[in-house]
Amino acid sequence: SHPPLCPPGIKCGGVLSAPSGNFSSPNFPGLYPYETECTWLIVVAEGSSVVLSFSHFELEYHDACAYDYLQVYNGAARDRGNLLGTFCGHSSPPPFSSAWHVMAVVFRSDRHVAKHGFAAAYRKDACGGQLTGLSGEITSPHYPESYPNDAECRWSIGGASGGGPLTLVFADFQMEGGQGCGFDYVALFDGPTITAPRLGRYCGSTRPPRTISSTPHLLIIFKSDFNIGGRGFKAHFYSAGECQEVFTTVKGNFSSPQYPNFYPNNLKCQWSIQLPPGYRIKVFFLDMELEGRSSLTGGCDYDHLSAFDGGTENGSLLGQWCGRESLAPITSRSNRLLLVLHTDRNTAKRGFSISYVGVVPMNVSCTRTDFHIQIPVQSLAQLERNRIYLGTPSCAAQVAGRNFKIHTRFDTCGTESQRRNNTSVIVSTLYIDFSVGDQEDIHQYEVQCEPKRKEASVTLIAGPDPSRLSQAENLVDAQQREGEAMDAHEIKSQDTSDIVFISICILAGLLMVIAVVGLVLL
């Protein structure tokens, strides 16, 4: 027999706020209706978690669960940053424990093929549980009120598909102290059981340090004795694989966790770029879509990406971004840069993709006839001098003391004369070849001289991905001015070299003088 279309008013979904309960698909154990969508929001006391299990599960099967499916969310429904999993077919979902006191379950059927559906049970877990999401929050029982005496809680984190090492950060911590933490304590283990190596045991009012596991599993044990309590603790965790990275190469790229899919909620991710002294770091925003600005304050109060000069959050803030924006590149003032992504409990988006390139420290000057270029050897310590050349490989750098040096006349090394903003300038391209093996990696800088003023400048014109970098930035000049932009599309070549033109004029003048003198003598 065919199942009915879901009639109006059928009991389907709702808010479940009792400490425990059961729910099932419509008509269970009969066939569920076609074209049905139900959402159950399970809400238990704050400080507790929700434990969800399935006793029966049978939905229409599809490889990607595109027809009939059940979704479990770590928090409010329909926020893909909280999605714990999508399920269909005959394989029952695993037991779930929420990372906070709210869990949502969504069931949907299409207009074809019905099955018997599912039956599920939930209960409030005073503390502890099995947490399988990529991110989440845990608190001691009754937090921020005082935790109970004689409590013991275990949170086992891990098991998410594709999960990497886990990072645990304590936002608040206040417990009974004591030498050796023998009364009340939090203990951390680098694995799923207490037989794993212990990462730390903490008590008192000093927040434990940021902890990163070496495996995709982390066990947290909270224990209190028979007297003297405290506010307890609040901590958040996330899979560290895509969320904590340090870059020391002269160029690189990275993206938000799970990009281009929605990033998880409740994250604090850090990307640190650390280059040799003298370098600066230019960052290109290839794509960005975060949760938008607050309608109340107009600020990036929810999810945001921040950039700090100097490599720590105490450094100067270069920028903070949110929403969907097309951003111009930024350049650090030092050789270290820290990017930090904060996401809150809801409303996830696609995230971001970023590439960066290290701007090589160099001094460029010129006379009316010559270029002078100096680069500290320590900045390019791994490179041979023939990897640094102006215009053509035959114009390679020489090593003089602690510097690579290029000293060349304007009529060599691929130099050409151009006219920009009604000013005659001499232009060439400096190549620095960082290639390793088959991986070609040649950075290009345009060097420019205005001979009349004897003023030189250098501009990064090709870095991580030349096809995507349309903006160029003036990086160094004779007066050490920084950051003047140049649009490469406004550069127009001049057919006749100014130097050749001036030389012809002088030669013509000399010939005229000789001719006049000759006539006088005759």
pLDDT at 167: 84
150 token code pair: 């004689």
Dihedral angle sign, alpha carbons of residues 451, 453, 459, 461: negative
CB 460 within 8 A of CB 484: no
Q: Please report where in the chains the tokens 């779930």 appear, as a residue.
A: 96
Which three-class secondary structure state does DSSP give residue 463?
Answer: coil
Close Cβ partners of 367 (under 8 Å, ≥ 6 residues apart):
451, 454
pLDDT at 216: 87
Q: Please report where in the chains the tokens 């130097």 appear, as a residue.
A: 499
* Domain range list for the chain: 13-125, 130-232, 244-359, 363-469
CATH number 3.40.50.12280 is the correct assignment for the domain at 13-125 = no
pLDDT at 492: 31
Instruction: Quote the CA–CA distance of 215 and 391 in Å, as a whole number.
Output: 50
pLDDT tens for the chain, 522 residues long, are 445 444 455 678 999 999 899 999 999 999 999 999 999 999 987 767 788 999 999 999 999 899 999 999 887 766 677 788 899 999 888 888 777 788 999 999 999 999 999 999 998 876 777 776 666 778 888 888 899 888 888 888 886 555 678 888 888 999 998 888 999 999 999 998 999 999 999 999 999 998 989 888 999 999 998 888 899 998 888 775 667 788 999 999 999 988 888 887 777 788 999 999 999 999 999 999 999 998 889 999 999 999 999 988 888 999 999 999 888 899 999 999 999 999 887 788 999 999 999 999 999 999 999 999 999 998 887 899 999 999 999 999 999 999 999 999 998 998 999 998 888 999 999 999 998 888 888 999 999 999 989 999 998 885 444 433 333 333 433 333 333 333 333 233 333 334 444 455 566 666 665 665 565 555
Distance from the Cα of residue 171 to its chain's centroid: 21
pLDDT at 428: 94
pLDDT at 389: 96
E strand or H helix that includes residue 519: helix 498-521
Q: Using H for helix, E for strand and C for coil, what is the string for 386-453?
A: HHEEECCCCCECEEECCEEEEEEECCCCCCEEEEECCEEEEEEEEEEECCECCECCEEEEEEEEECCC
* Domains 130-232 and 244-359 are alike in CATH topology: yes
Q: Which residues pair with 446 in a beta bridge?
A: 429, 459
State the pTM of this model.
0.59
Residue 131, burial from CB neighbour count under 10 angstroms (0-12, 13-18, 19+): buried
CATH architecture of 244-359: Sandwich (2.60)
CB 335 within 8 A of CB 277: yes
Instruction: Quote the CA–CA distance of 144 and 9 in Å, as a whole number.
Output: 40
Instruction: Quote the CA–CA distance of 327 and 285 in Å, as a whole number.
Output: 6
Close Cβ partners of 55 (under 8 Å, ≥ 6 residues apart):
119, 120, 121
Residue 178, burial from CB neighbour count under 10 angstroms (0-12, 13-18, 19+): middle
- pLDDT tens sequence across 86-135: 999 998 888 887 777 889 999 999 999 999 999 999 988 767 777 766 66
495 token code pair: 């057919």
pLDDT at 480: 34
Q: How far is CA 261 from CA 264, 304, 323, 351, 353, in A?
A: 9, 17, 16, 8, 12
Q: How far is CA 437 from CA 23, 144, 360, 389, 466, in A?
A: 60, 57, 21, 19, 20
Instruction: Quote the CA–CA distance of 283 and 264 in Å, as a whole number.
Output: 24
Side chain identity at residue 430, one-letter code: L
CATH architecture of 130-232: Sandwich (2.60)
Close Cβ partners of 359 (under 8 Å, ≥ 6 residues apart):
279, 280, 281, 282, 331, 460, 475
